[in-house]
């Protein structure tokens, strides 16, 4: 693989990772806003913040290496890897929350595989290490998500944070 192709591939990988971290942060932020349980809300807020912090780190490295990202370029790999998180979760029941958490777990496992495989395609040691760190961050997120799923599975009271329109009207009528 030529040097120009490797530079381009790493730039595209960073752009995709940045977009993916944005998607994941928004997803976890949506989950935080959809649950009533204080511990779960705190967990999702922490996950959203961690993803946003990871995004900032990636953005810093991207700017140092290649300048600012081109906002007009579509990041196909981020959609392929993070796509399941791109839709705002609708949490109407505990089963919905379980499904959202399982989707996030599978996605973070795919993130781990994606960056692990990517680390094997570059010869530069610093790039390999950087990509392996990204892969390990995916596994750390899986651990946090499994903790959240365990909270849900334990039967702790989990319900929607926002009331339905009918409930609000009934409440307002009292």
Q: CATH code at 41?
A: 1.20.1260.10
Instruction: Tell me the residue range of the domain where 76 lies.
Output: 3-173
Q: Which residues of 40-49 are buried (b: 16+ CB within 10 A; e: fewer)?
A: bbebbeebbe
141 Cβ contact list (under 8 Å, min separation 6): 24, 47, 50, 51, 104, 108, 111
Pick the more confident residue, 140 or 3.
140
Per-residue pLDDT band at 85 (split at 50, 70, 90): confident
- Rounded to whole angstroms, the Cα distance separating 93 from 162 reads 12
Mean pLDDT over 80-89 rounds to: 71
Q: Distances from the Cα of 133 to the Cαs of 67, 93, 107, in angstroms? A: 22, 35, 17
Higher pLDDT, 145 or 158: 145
CA-CA distance, 140 to 40, in Å (whole number)?
17
Tally of structural domains, the chain: 1
Give the pLDDT confidence score for residue 52 in this predicted structure.
95
Q: Give the span between the Cα atoms of 36 and 9, in whole angstroms.
A: 42
Q: d(Cα 47, Cα 53) in Å, to the nearest integer?
A: 10
Q: What is the pLDDT of residue 171?
A: 41
Report which DSSP code applies to 1.
-
Backbone conformation region of residue 22, classed left if phi is above 0, alpha if psi is from -120 to 50, else beta: alpha
pLDDT digits over 55-83, tens only? 998 898 888 888 887 665 555 555 666 67
Phi, psi angles (nearest 5°) of residue 79: -70, -40
pLDDT score recorded for residue 126: 85
């Amino acid at each position: 693989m030529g040097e120009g192709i490797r530079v381009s591939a790493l730039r595209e990988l960073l752009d995709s990772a940045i977009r993916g971290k944005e998607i994941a942060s928004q997803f976890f932020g949506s989950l935080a806003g959809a649950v009533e349980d204080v511990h779960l809300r705190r967990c999702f807020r922490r996950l959203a913040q961690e993803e946003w912090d990871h995004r900032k780190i990636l953005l810093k490295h991207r700017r140092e290496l290649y300048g600012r990202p081109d906002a007009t370029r579509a990041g196909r790999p981020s959609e392929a890897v993070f796509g399941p998180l791109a839709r705002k979760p609708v949490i109407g029941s505990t089963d919905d929350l379980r499904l959202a958490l399982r989707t996030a777990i599978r996605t973070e496992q795919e993130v781990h595989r994606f960056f692990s495989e990517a680390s094997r395609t570059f010869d530069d040691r610093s790039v390999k290490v950087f990509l392996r760190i990204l892969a390990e961050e995916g596994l750390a997120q899986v651990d946090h998500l499994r903790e959240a799923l365990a909270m849900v599975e334990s039967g702790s009271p989990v319900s929607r944070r926002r009331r339905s329109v009918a409930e609000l009207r009934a409440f307002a009528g009292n």
